[in-house]
Amino acid sequence: MPKNLIQQTLVLLKPDAIQRGIIGPIISRFEQAGLKIVGMKMVWVDKAFSKKHYSAHVDKKFYPGLENFITSGPVISMVVEGIQSVKAVRKIVGSTEPHQASPGTIRGDFAHHSYEYTDKKGIAIKNLIHASGNIKEAKKEIELWFKAKEIHTYKTVHETHVY
């Protein structure tokens, strides 16, 4: 397998996923697809770190609600590795707006908020999870969330069958 097709991407399980007690079923979706978790930790995000992670959104109207949400409870951050993992993870996660997410995706199966609902309530959309949007973003986000020594190399049985 060409090395550049094996990628790493950042996945965040947001406070709603943790508070609802569904982190196990969510993480298993990635493992069942043959992806592997090479870094993982639980973090309580503060406002300064939220601004770093969501730097592209800080000046947008919805940002205050997003900041309140991401700082409302612990977050599990993961580095997920595999064949074209950025695209694979986003496919597994589903549309950013849970109301539009297909059944069988994480958001389609576990969430149902819509932008219309959250805009009227003045709250952030509760969509359980963040996944890097592209390879460049994944690299930047992984460097923000993880030190190099926190990312591990190991072999899984999937690498015999999937890679």
| Dihedral pair phi/psi, residue 48, rounded to 5° | -65, -45
Catalytic residue among 53, 57, 99, 130: 130
> How far apart are alpha carbons 45 and 130 in whole angstroms?
14
Query: Dihedral sign, CA of 84, 50, 77, 139?
Result: positive
Q: Give catalytic status of residue 158 as yes or no.
A: no
Greatest distance between any 2 Cα atoms in the chain: 49
Residues paired with 10 in a beta bridge: 79
> How far apart are alpha carbons 106 and 143 in whole angstroms?
25
3-state secondary structure 4-50: HHEEEEEEEECHHHHHCCCHHHHHHHHHHCCCEEEEEEEECCCHHHH
Q: Write out the catalytic residue numbers.
A: 130
